[in-house]
Structure 1
Amino acid sequence: MRTTAAMAIATAIYLPFAGPGAAAEVLPAEVKSKVSGELVWHDASGGATTRAREETVIKDFAAETGITVKGDFNSDMTKFFAAMDSGASIPWSFVEFPTKGDFIKAREAGYLQKLDPTIVDFTKIGEASHDEYGVEVLRYGIVFTYNTEKFKGDNVPTSIADIYDLKRFPGKRCLFKYPQFGGVLESALLADGVSRDQLYPLNLDKAFAKLDTIKSEILWWSNGDDAIRLLSSGECSMGIAWSGRVYGAVRNDKAPLAIKWDNSLYSQAVYAVPVGAPNAEAGQAMIAHFIADLEGQKALVEQITYTTDVAGLDSSSYGSDLAPWIVAGDNAKKAIEENASYYAQHITEVVDRFNRWVALN
């Protein structure tokens, strides 16, 4: 039994709206009849990714159901797991896990509700992209990114390993201040000669030794918008960023950025409903709507290039201009899938060691 008060949250609010041009309704009437009120969701993305969702799929969901949606941004899952571990009353009725590893950890801990098949239509999502507790969404690249004004002609970096070549490619490196879903440890091992099929389990001693060689040149970022700002401005000559964020900066702001998929990584978020959710029906309905809203999906991918394995859509559904930015085809073959099982089992020790290493002068 959860006995403590719900945790205070900072929220972004999306109110229901219906009007000219409203999206087609995609939820069955019997599902909509079950939901009402307010939904607070745990947002692990923030920034451009959340803005894209608010302007597309969340807007469509609020318009169709009349539910008020509030996003609570947290850059990793520390707050979620701390609340669940303590038995605190939680505010979230819908949770975005930024990686499948985080989802597996929560599922194995008994922190998630089974999804209700009378609400969430599993026929609308690929069979390999869901289980009873969650739906895989927003497949994203964790990609090597460089500033094209810093490197031109024959002196252009080609691989994530070039982050560690300070002599040939000088300048600050932008890396995610968290060891998972940022490719920090994996990039170090690849640069040290570890083959891609031997990355996991991670050799932490070797990874941190390689990171030591560039530590003085690292600028840490904690959210995707900061990564883009640092790379676009030239404060960092190269680094690792999320593919959709780079795409948005190039498309919308003409940012001088390029990416390379070779030995970059990719992962996927997972949507789920936590045990103790104050409005579990609305959380389940939000997942159901997300995978049924085909037009919303197309509009979302146009903005952020993170695709979901929903029925009726494939990579050809989004147009040839987006092909270089989507985790599919040759891009997926060149990149490496982050090992969700490894992180689910070892994330606590990895984060602890990473934080201690960062804190050392």
Structure 2
Amino acid sequence: MKTFPGPRGLPDTGDRDWWLPAIALMADGVPRDKIFPMDLDRAYKKLDEIKPYISVWWKTGNQVAQIMRDQEVAMTLSYSGRALTAMNEGAPFQLSWNDAIMDTGYFAILKDAPNPEGALKFINYFYGHAEGHPAFIKTANYATHSKDGMALLPPEEQKNYATAPENFKLLMVPDFKWIGENRDMLRERWQNWLAE
């Protein structure tokens, strides 16, 4: 808190029950490749230290971008695309990829979609053609899986995304198997702690 003073924001969203203990463990000196299985007692001891400095527990991606634009916080954990959007709109922040959490995104077709064949054709086209990725990346402010598509962006833009090699090597890789096996316990512990 002394190195980077000022109000902070943290998520109270769907994945906060494992994100924040993971971040707390790294803040307490645990290397990113040793986070799982989580020492939750250690994580929550660190979260107890951090909690008084949190001025905004944000609930949505829109809210985190807004608190950045409005400069309600000096620092926040954020979805990278939401942070980049706020920064592109003038918010005076910088991205830090060091110990950022690697996460994934998916395309899905709804069970009763009106045109599932068309949706599947789009997905197959998207995953098979790199030339469409730069426009998608710039619009969504999130990288895609395509190294060839990323290479079509100017080098100074590539550094804004998690998949840039210099950023990718800094990411914490979650153990989703462990998270899934412990999800109910993680949620209950988080909800009890936040209510204290």
- Alignment TM-score, normalising by the size of structure 2: 0.84
Partner of 1:324: 159
- For the residue of structure 2 that corresponds to 1:206, the secondary structure is helix
Query: Quick check: 2:101–2:171 contact (8 Å CA) kept in 1?
Result: yes
Counterpart of 1:257 (choices 93, 96, 99) is: 93
Structural mapping, 1:1-361, within 5 Å: 165=1, 167-178=2-13, 180=15, 183-218=19-54, 219-251=56-88, 253-273=89-109, 277-279=111-113, 280-281=116-117, 283-292=119-128, 294-310=130-146, 313-327=148-162, 328-360=164-196
CA deviation map 1:167-207 (0-9, x unaligned): 34332211111362783221100111212221011111111
Larger-gyration structure (1/2): 1
Residues 324 and 336 from structure 1, CA distance in 2 versus in 1: closer, same or farther, beyond 3 angstroms? same
- Structure 1 runs of 4+ off > 6 angstroms? none
Instruction: Give me the whole-angstrom Cα distance separating, in 2, the residues matched to 1:168 and 1:261.
Output: 17
Give the number of equivalent residue pairs. Answer: 191
Shift of residue 289, structure 1, vs aligned partner: 4.4
Greater relative contact order (Cα < 8 A, sep 6+): 1
Q: Among all aligned residue pairs of Structure 1 and Structure 2, give the percentage whose two residues are the same amino acid.
A: 27
1:76-123 Cα offsets, whole Å, 9 max, x none, are xxxxxxxxxxxxxxxxxxxxxxxxxxxxxxxxxxxxxxxxxxxxxxxx
Over the aligned positions, Cα root-mean-square deviation in angstroms equals 2.4
3-state DSSP of counterpart to 1:262: coil
1:323 corresponds to which letter in structure 2? Q
Is the CA contact (8 Å cut-off) linking 1:196 and 1:336 kept in structure 2?
A: yes
Higher share of residues assigned helix: 2
SS in 2 for 1:266: coil
Work out the CA distance in 2 between the residues paired with 1:338 and 1:172. 27
Q: Kindly indicate which of the two structures has a greater share of residues assigned to strand.
A: 1
CA distance in 1, matches of 2:46, 2:129: 45
Structure 1: 5+ residue stretches without partners = 1-164
